[in-house]
């Protein structure tokens, strides 16, 4: 293959096809017609000597060659976008940019909400699209499908690659919480209360709960009667009940008045809450991304 014969626009189409694994969706992403996208796919197949996408039942699947091209193509286009196409500076008052971010609901309340207020109030041309955490965070960062994700540091260690840069953003601790009329209200949270009273457990989709590990390490099995996949709903489930739970302190302080709960000092050790923002290192020098990180750091408590 003669590199001089490679049309850069074909790489853009290839990237969309590899991402979407669907000709129609790739065409929509590129604002092209479906016939034009199909024609580009035919040219790519001839150029690369591989079908790239093959029919499997009702869907298209990447061939091994297609899978192997995902990261290199994204890397090449990311480099071109940032160092050749993108302007050398970023003016949030005039430049348009959409950032995709992902975090837990807890981080959404204590950090992302202030960030949205700061950005949307001052920079009308900048959009933030907030998404939930998923097990695909590493793949999405590698493929530039997400600009920044906030994760617990212990979870990120086994999920993200060395190609990610990071900055600490959450430094919090866990505390007990009960309804304001609970027998424990006004006191502290002893370890045995987790077996004496019904326990509201946090059950994240990824199955990783630091406080549950700490409680298990202390030799206690809580009397779990209710579980929640979201931290933010937990304080509002407790009114009129004998439930006890454990939540991040900063979240509890914000929601306590509305939820009618009291926070209790735990009488047993719980590891602190430590979360960081992660992004692909190819974004380190991106002026717009650097501006986003500066805004994020500016709203940290």
pTM for the full predicted model: 0.74
CB-neighbour burial class of residue 28 (10 A; exposed 0-12, middle 13-18, buried 19+): middle
Nearest to 176 by CA among 261, 258, 110: 261
Angle between helices 8-20 and 23-30 (to 10 degrees): 130
Asked whether 216 and 184 are in contact (CB, 8 A), the reply is: no
Q: What is the pLDDT along the chain (301 residues), one digit of tens a residue?
A: 555 666 778 888 998 898 889 999 999 888 899 999 999 999 899 888 899 999 888 888 999 999 899 888 887 887 777 666 666 678 888 888 889 999 989 999 999 989 988 887 667 788 888 888 777 777 788 777 889 999 888 888 777 777 889 999 999 999 999 999 999 999 999 999 999 999 999 987 766 677 888 888 888 999 999 999 889 999 999 999 999 999 999 999 999 999 999 999 999 999 999 999 999 888 888 888 999 999 999 999 8
CA dist., res. 1 & res. 111, Å (int): 50
Supply the pLDDT for residue 270. Answer: 92
What is the per-residue pLDDT across 195-249, written as a single tens digit (0 to 9) for each? 999 999 998 776 667 788 888 888 899 999 999 988 999 999 999 999 999 999 9
């Amino acid at each position: 293959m003669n590199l001089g014969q490679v049309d850069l626009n074909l790489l853009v189409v290839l990237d969309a096809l590899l991402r979407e694994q669907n000709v129609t969706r790739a065409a929509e992403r590129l604002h092209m017609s479906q016939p034009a996208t199909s024609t580009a796919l035919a040219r790519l197949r001839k150029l690369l000597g591989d079908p790239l996408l093959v029919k499997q039942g009702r869907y298209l699947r990447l061939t091994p060659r297609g899978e192997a091209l995902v990261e290199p193509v994204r890397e090449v286009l990311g480099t071109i976008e940032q160092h050749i196409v993108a302007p050398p500076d970023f003016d949030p008052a005039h430049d348009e940019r959409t950032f995709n971010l992902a975090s837990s609901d807890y981080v959404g309340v204590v950090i992302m909400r202030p960030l949205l207020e700061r950005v949307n109030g001052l920079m009308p041309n900048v959009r933030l699209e907030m998404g939930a955490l998923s097990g695909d965070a590493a793949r999405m960062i590698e493929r530039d499908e997400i600009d920044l994700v906030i994760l617990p540091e212990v979870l990120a260690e086994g999920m993200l690659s060395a190609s990610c840069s990071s900055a600490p953003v959450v430094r919090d601790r866990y505390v007990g919480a009960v309804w304001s009329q609970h027998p424990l209200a006004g006191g502290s949270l002893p370890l045995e209360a987790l077996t004496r009273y019904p326990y509201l457990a946090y059950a994240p989709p990824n199955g990783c709960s630091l406080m549950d590990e700490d409680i298990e390490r202390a030799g206690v099995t809580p009397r779990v009667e209710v579980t929640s996949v979201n931290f933010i709903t937990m304080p509002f489930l407790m009114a009129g009940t004998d439930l006890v739970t454990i939540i991040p302190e900063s979240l509890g302080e914000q929601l306590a008045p509305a939820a009618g709960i009291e926070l209790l000092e735990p009488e047993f050790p719980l590891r602190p809450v430590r979360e960081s923002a992660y992004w692909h290192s190819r974004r380190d020098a991106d002026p717009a991304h650097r501006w986003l990180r500066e805004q994020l750091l500016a709203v940290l408590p």
